[in-house]
Structure 1
Amino acid sequence: MNLKVWSEASLNGITKNLRPHHSSVSGKQRKLNKRSWDSDIPFPRVPTSLSVILVGTAAVVCYINSLDGGFVFDDSEAIINNEDLKPETPISNLLYNDFWGTRLTHNASHKSYRPLTVLSFRWNYWLAGGLHPRGFHLMNVALHAIVSMLSLAIFNLLLGGASHRSALLASVLFAVHPIHAEAVAGVVGRADLLCTLFYFLGFIAYCNSLHFDWGIYQAAMLLLSMVFCATAMFCKEQGITVIGLCSVYDVIVNGKQHPIRILRLLQQCFILRKISWPPGHSEQCPMITPSNCDTPVVQNRSWVETNKQKHGWLVLLFVRWRIMASSAPTFQRVDNPASFADSILTRVLSYSYIYALNGWLLLCPEWLCFDWSMGCIPLVESLEPRLLAVGLFWMTFIALLWKSLSIPSGKGQRSLIMCLAALVIPFLPATNVFFRVGFVIAERVLYLPSVGFCLLVIVGLRKLAMFHGSHRAIQIGYTYVVLLLGIRAVCRSAEWRTEAVLFHSGLSVCPLNAKVHYNIAKNAGDAGNRTLAIFEYREALRLHSEYDQAMNNLANILKDEGKLHEAERLLRKAVQLRPDFAAAWMNLGIVLAGLKHHSEAETSYFTALAYRKKYPDCYYNLGNLYLEQQRYGDAYRAWRNATALKPTHVVAWSNLIIMLDSIGQMDRAESIAQEALTILPQEPSLHFNLANALGKTGRFVEAEKHFIEAITLDRKNAVYYTNLGVLYHRWKKYDKAERLYQQALELNPHLQSAKDNMALLQKARNRIANQQ
């Protein structure tokens, strides 16, 4: 039977059961239907325990090299700079802040509410005693292995049960797929790993509930399923889509309903609604039962359960919306250019091309990039070759959809529908259809939809084995694909270990992406390679002339090289493009101070503080401006604000001590130093500055103690040895002074202060010798 036969039947002639049509298939087809679905897979049956071991091992082998990696790319904001991970931060902050540590009610918040994921980061931080990346990566690899092993049960359920060989083949593909590198090797991908774990558990719990009659056990399993669904959602927003997959499974696999039958039911409901209710009355469709609808409905509890699940989904959706402060996140055009396009046609074509690229990355994961924004994928605005990819994508998708609708109801047809459901439903939040997202392509978003893709490959492999019978070739081909994907996963995982390698790998995929060049420049600047940093920042600005962050960072380097006027021009343009860019306002203040435009510099600092009230670095630089103007009281207050906002702000503490020492307020200098040392007892510069202040007042013993402590904490600082030598010199312990000067010159032969003091020491000794 085909779709045409069904579509030609009139509604008045619909029979109470469509099975007589199915009986018209050929004898060959009936024979195939009677065979075990899994028996057509040309691979031997593997015991369940061994299957679990094989899948877990494959997952670990492909990504174990990421254990030596550091924190890269988004890890900086989500982990290194996220105060919510620190033990001193109240754990209740996780309930009010987003994934990046920003208050959900803040305008800059991305509304990504993932408290359970942040809680797992916090647990890693506590366990390792700090930000040690190995523990974070170890947990990611372990989670991927667990999810991969759990996928055996998921694939078996999606195939309707008794499909262990197919499930194993699909799970191996899932375990080794390189598209997972970002989710596993990048620590931020923890959100996708945890979400998928609870997504799977929620789906399994729901499927188990279908095996119970109505009662306490089924209610408990349904409740457990909703709990896992909520947990998945609080790990990542994508988790809520498990309810859609459960609903499809309930109707298609458990209820064994053909989609055409459901469509006819909906059509008949629509007609009954038009006929039964006159205008002006309620248009609610009467309950469709075998007594008033010719088309049979699910002869079990599916509709009731689905309805209850729908209510649970609505509650979770409402809770999620309230958490977001009932407002959608705000993104910039560069984050997702297609969503800002004025033309509807441009948006549709560009979205379609992005969908096609996502499909291609699943099929051939060669083009992998850490970031796909900022010109990486130009908008599709006219007739061009990329439309061929769009056409091919939609033709393939429609063909698969048509195939799932046109073939008779059976395990093969249900498996195809579940493949498409597992592929499409988790991907829906990333489609820009329901709301704007803050990315163009995010590879970690494909972690969960890849379940449907891997299953689709195995369904196709089974179909190939059924009708072509070259089992040896299929076995070799599958093994070759798994090895190829595994090698690619190992290589890609290695690229995620360091930012330098990761950022340069993006150039071959997205050379037009200004953000790729920006990140290369930032990494080079941090490594001290200013030449490369300047070149890449300029390239980023060439590709995206309004890239304010690139302007800010380039201006910082130019400022350090003394090119203050060019730095000023860049910073003024940056704050013109983004008036609330606090960092750029602060840096403009530094440049203006360097140009001796003190009044304008002060105004810039105050503007930065107006946009970011808790900005210790800005207070620190404002204090430096006041010190230069000899406004010591204002400088003191500015630096105290910096230390109040950030008690570990070492340079602010040091400047306070040095300034008070230099203006003769020795007691206050000592008091500030002692206060700072209670917070930072292992900071050598604080011991050094306190020792200098004590030495000036003649308290040589105490000064000696702090100088020695500073040298113990930092044995390679020649200045520390020189100043301790000066203390001994004043103390008239000339032998010790000479030894300290010599040690300082060994560390830094060009240190002029040590040379001068050594010469003074020799004169003093000669003078003493002449007197004798």
Structure 2
Amino acid sequence: MRNIKANFWVVLIAIFGSMLYVHTHDFGYSGDDGIYSHFNRVTKEGLDNWQELFEYGSMNFIQINPVNSSIYRPLTLLTFGLENELAGGFSAPIGHRVNIVLYALVLMVIGWLLVRLVQIRNLPIWLALMILLLYAVHPIHSEVVASVKSRDTLLCSLFAFSAILIWVNSGPKPKVFQQIIVAVFFFLSLISKEESIPLMALVAAISYFFFQKSLKDSIFSVAPFLIPVVTYMGIRAVVLDEAITIYNSMINSILYGTTPGELLATNFYIYIQYIKLLFFPHPLSWDYSFSQFTVQSFANPLVWFSVLFFGGLLFVAYKGFKTRNLFSFGIIFYIATFSIFANLSRALIIGSNLGERFQFIPSLAFCFLICYGLFKLSDRFSTFKKPLFIGVVLLPIVLAFSWKTVDRAKVWESNLTLSASGVKTSPKSWRTHMFYGDELRQRGSNVLRSYPDSAKMYFAEAVKELDKGYEIIAGKVGVSQFLGSLAESYLGLGDSTKAISILERSTIENPNSSFAFIKLGYVELARKNVPRAEEWFIKGLKAPNPDYFGLYKALGTLYDRENENLRAIAAFKKALEYSDDREVKRALGFLYFQEGDEKTAKTYFPEDEDIDMDEVRFIKDLKLANLAFKKENYQESVVLYASILDRFEEYGGSEKYPKFYGAYGESLIETGDTIQSKNYLLKAYDLNPIEPVICMNLGVISFFHDKDYNEAARYFKESIDAGIGDLYSAWVNLGSSQIVAGKEADAVESFEKALEIKPTVLAVKNLYLLNKNLGNQEQAKYYLSLLQPSTVTQ
């Protein structure tokens, strides 16, 4: 009856602890979730190639920098593949719900284990429940439960503590079949995540402190757990390659490159930070990179405090060991389970300064020590008051921890919320600023077409954050992977010159990444510098470890735009050698159709796609019209655009071809059809009000045709804000509009801007006349003096 009641409370606490995360049930992916799910080559295929998960290291399947070393967690990845298979695709909410359930199960198993242990030592069951409650609500677990990727920690803990629970319930002398079950469960924990290895020390400690075995017998009792560990390590040795050094730098851990004294001092500094977070879990952060933490020396008093603190813990553990004091047990439990993350030697540096997830198991030892300490402290009170005393002390802590857990879990809703929280909780970390900047850049790109003003705000903030990240790292180590994000942000702001400069720097600092080569090519293509674009794509193919698919696809796109069909076909076919891409196949289908080979064209169009050959003809005609426009054959482009106008909406309209109206309108204005031109330019403007050429053309029409000078000035100003290439002409046009509109003071400012760009007679003459009319005699004399042939250009 007593056990039934205890089990009821264990389940109730487990449900309560897991419900603190119930609001995460519909969150998206964030942090490193993608490397186990939608960015994972095997798991995103469901169970089609599940056996590969056991044949290679778990980092071998990620899309960015895959390596067959470091970690081996096939069972965790298998659960993601299974989830994908059963759900018909990855779904972040499903992943979060799985984590909530797993956390509840982990709490139940730990609760039952605690109940059994206190029973063995004749301690009250409510003590076990107090420990479980404090553990269940501790905010330091929020990263593990709220991050889908941390399913590995939950699975590892579930199987490991289940193995220990089965072993404890088997008694001091478990039978062979019980030991086999224990070994199987512990092996499952290891292939979920290797951090359960130190729990062998917990098993030995339970034997010694609870089963009262001798030290020698306690060590031998670990056998059912040691066998799967040896098996697991053997498999790792066969499967994994030698660890590479790509991450062995300050960007991941400040311990790399330290002297022995600095290594020791910095470790002790980090250890005490973990203890601080256990007692006072605020602020919590997903990242603690340089320079949130920096290399320490023994000149820091906090380092000495940490030395004394942990020295005191070891002394207490030693003093209580012979008497089997449970304080000694709790300390050994904590130190043993934390040891795997303690960076004890250079060979064991884990590549992270501090991680809250690393305290998921050690924090159980912390909760044990706190509650057992309160239990011993309550000895001064009568027996019946002990639970009440501990409850009164723990209640405000449990409430505060519960609130903090709920609040902290909110930041894992998305990458944007997570990275935004990082710059607040770890403002000195280079990584938090870089990741937040990249998320802002992505958000800007997503809203660019619909909300251009908002997009610019995102891009501007992205540049600020990315620059801050580079300022923190300050050349100490390369993080050139973020140069692409910085360049994209400048492109979003319309500063292609700055973007190109950054991308060129990236090709030097990070030649293994093809992104910069591809992006530079597309930027030059947008600037109509086709030879330069082609040069960048070819340079990318010659760089180390090129992205052959992306580069050949880019070359195919370039040749396609230039109507060099045969070269485009050759490039796209090369791209297909590296990836069976649907988009490339469609492009080949259209190209072969344009070459008159409809039979071959149909073999490239996707089989599950019903191709409308009339649409293919429309696209062919549109391409010819765009090509004529590009070559400035405006009479021809007007005829071709007009011929497909009646089919335009049928085959996607402006949503699919957003530049159609702008090109048609510009062609019309070039052929003198101003009225028709304005109609189509206004349609283009409604679709994208930040397209500088459209704004400029509308300004010209308003000025010369409509005589609406205020509207003309507005359009010219918008073309400048949108990053018009010919800024000089834009400022001159704006100034001219302001003169005619009677805004001479504003016109002065506009012509001064034009003069800064290009010192011309036109700009100086206007400034002379404007200042003379405004009564600015000194300025007028100054500009009159500039009207010398050697001073300004015609």
User: Match for residue 182 of structure 1?
Assistant: 143
User: Match for residue 622 of structure 1?
Assistant: 555
Equivalent residues in 2 for 1:146-295, closer than 5 Å = 146-159=105-118, 161=120, 162=122, 163-212=124-173, 218-257=175-214, 262=215
8 Å contact kept, 1:208–1:221: no
How many pairs align? 633
- Pairing 1:557–2:489 present: yes
User: Match for residue 619 of structure 2?
Assistant: 692
Q: Per-residue displacement from partner, 1:364-413 (whole Å, max 9, x unpaired)?
A: 1112111122322111135134425524542453344244337x34xxx1
Q: Per-residue displacement from partner, 1:620-662 (whole Å, max 9, x unpaired)?
A: 2232344466654332232234345444453x3454455556x
Residues 432 and 749 of structure 1: CA distance in aligned 2, closer, same or farther (over 3 Å): closer
- Distance in 1, Cα, partners of 2:401 & 2:463: 37
1:578 CA drift (Å): 3.8
Secondary structure of the structure 1 residue equivalent to 2:254: helix
Equivalent residues in 2 for 1:623-638, closer than 5 Å = 623-627=556-560, 631-638=564-571
8 Å contact kept, 2:179–2:224: no
User: Match for residue 21 of structure 2?
Assistant: 63
Residues 552 and 693 of structure 1: CA distance in aligned 2, closer, same or farther (over 3 Å): closer
User: Match for residue 532 of structure 1?
Assistant: 461
- Distance in 2, Cα, partners of 1:122 & 1:500: 26
- Distance in 2, Cα, partners of 1:322 & 1:520: 39
- Distance in 2, Cα, partners of 1:496 & 1:570: 31
8 Å contact kept, 2:119–2:125: no
- Pairing 1:581–2:581 present: no
- Distance in 1, Cα, partners of 2:335 & 2:244: 23
- Distance in 2, Cα, partners of 1:393 & 1:653: 65
TM-score, reference length from structure 2 = 0.71
1:91 CA drift (Å): 1.5
8 Å contact kept, 1:717–1:747: no
- Distance in 2, Cα, partners of 1:690 & 1:477: 78
- Pairing 1:642–2:569 present: no
1:146 CA drift (Å): 0.7
Compare relative contact order (CA 8 Å, sep 6+) and give the higher one, 1 or 2: 1
- Pairing 1:420–2:331 present: yes
1:242 CA drift (Å): 2.8
Among residues 654, 665, 672, which one is paired with 2:595 in the alignment? 665
8 Å contact kept, 1:195–1:236: yes
Residues 131 and 389 of structure 1: CA distance in aligned 2, closer, same or farther (over 3 Å): farther
Residues 341 and 334 of structure 1: CA distance in aligned 2, closer, same or farther (over 3 Å): closer
- Distance in 1, Cα, partners of 2:658 & 2:223: 75
Residues 507 and 558 of structure 1: CA distance in aligned 2, closer, same or farther (over 3 Å): closer
User: Match for residue 4 of structure 1?
Assistant: none
Q: Per-residue displacement from partner, 1:321-361 (whole Å, max 9, x unpaired)?
A: 32223546652313433331231111111111111112222
Among residues 325, 341, 347, which one is paired with 1:430 in the alignment? 341
RMSD of aligned C-alpha atoms? Answer: 4.1
1:240 CA drift (Å): 2.6
Given residue 541 of structure 2, which amino acid in structure 1 is its aligned partner? Answer: F
Q: Which runs of 5+ in 2 are unaligned?
A: 445-457, 625-643, 662-679, 695-794
Given residue 442 of structure 1, which amino acid in structure 2 is its aligned partner? Answer: G
Given residue 575 of structure 2, which amino acid in structure 1 is its aligned partner? Answer: A
8 Å contact kept, 2:42–2:53: yes
User: Match for residue 472 of structure 2?
Assistant: 543
- Distance in 2, Cα, partners of 1:687 & 1:476: 78
Higher mean C-alpha displacement, 362-371 vs 615-624? 615-624
- Distance in 2, Cα, partners of 1:246 & 1:690: 73
- Distance in 2, Cα, partners of 1:179 & 1:687: 61
User: Match for residue 401 of structure 2?
Assistant: 485
Residues 220 and 365 of structure 1: CA distance in aligned 2, closer, same or farther (over 3 Å): same
Given residue 180 of structure 1, which amino acid in structure 2 is its aligned partner? Answer: H
Secondary structure of the structure 2 residue equivalent to 1:459: helix
- Distance in 2, Cα, partners of 1:492 & 1:696: 53
Given residue 570 of structure 1, which amino acid in structure 2 is its aligned partner? Answer: I
Q: Which runs of 5+ in 1 are unaligned?
A: 1-43, 263-296, 698-702, 723-740, 754-772
- Distance in 1, Cα, partners of 2:604 & 2:87: 29
Equivalent residues in 2 for 1:68-87, closer than 5 Å = 68-87=26-45
8 Å contact kept, 2:106–2:157: yes
User: Match for residue 294 of structure 2?
Assistant: 378
Equivalent residues in 2 for 1:691-710, closer than 5 Å = 692-693=619-620
Given residue 166 of structure 2, which amino acid in structure 1 is its aligned partner? Answer: A
Equivalent residues in 2 for 1:464-543, closer than 5 Å = 464-467=377-380, 471=386, 472-528=388-444, 529-543=458-472
Q: Per-residue displacement from partner, 1:448-469 (whole Å, max 9, x unpaired)?
A: 2222111111111111111366
1:447 CA drift (Å): 1.2
1:136 CA drift (Å): 0.8
8 Å contact kept, 2:434–2:465: yes
- Distance in 2, Cα, partners of 1:71 & 1:526: 15
Residues 308 and 474 of structure 1: CA distance in aligned 2, closer, same or farther (over 3 Å): closer
Residues 317 and 328 of structure 1: CA distance in aligned 2, closer, same or farther (over 3 Å): farther
Q: Per-residue displacement from partner, 1:67-120 (whole Å, max 9, x unpaired)?
A: 12100111133322112122364112212344345389x874452211111111
8 Å contact kept, 1:673–1:690: no
User: Match for residue 137 of structure 1?
Assistant: 96
- Pairing 1:607–2:520 present: no
1:588 CA drift (Å): 4.5
Residues 347 and 513 of structure 1: CA distance in aligned 2, closer, same or farther (over 3 Å): same
Higher mean C-alpha displacement, 384-393 vs 340-349? 384-393
Given residue 665 of structure 1, which amino acid in structure 2 is its aligned partner? Answer: E
Given residue 93 of structure 2, which amino acid in structure 1 is its aligned partner? Answer: R
1:143 CA drift (Å): 0.3
- Pairing 1:597–2:597 present: no
- Distance in 1, Cα, partners of 2:589 & 2:685: 29
1:591 CA drift (Å): 5.0
Q: Per-residue displacement from partner, 1:516-559 (whole Å, max 9, x unpaired)?
A: 11111111111112111111111111111332122221123334
- Distance in 1, Cα, partners of 2:524 & 2:551: 14
User: Match for residue 267 of structure 1?
Assistant: none
Residues 566 and 96 of structure 1: CA distance in aligned 2, closer, same or farther (over 3 Å): farther
Equivalent residues in 2 for 1:18-167, closer than 5 Å = 47-87=5-45, 89-102=48-61, 108-109=67-68, 111-159=70-118, 161=120, 162=122, 163-167=124-128
8 Å contact kept, 2:517–2:536: no
- Pairing 1:352–2:268 present: yes
Among residues 447, 463, 470, which one is paired with 2:376 in the alignment? 463
Secondary structure of the structure 2 residue equivalent to 1:47: helix
1:236 CA drift (Å): 0.5
8 Å contact kept, 1:140–1:190: yes
1:430 CA drift (Å): 1.3
TM-score, reference length from structure 1 = 0.73
Residues 489 and 202 of structure 1: CA distance in aligned 2, closer, same or farther (over 3 Å): same
User: Match for residue 38 of structure 1?
Assistant: none
8 Å contact kept, 1:653–1:672: no
1:492 CA drift (Å): 0.8
- Distance in 2, Cα, partners of 1:226 & 1:116: 16
- Distance in 1, Cα, partners of 2:623 & 2:146: 54
Among residues 377, 387, 391, which one is paired with 2:303 in the alignment? 387
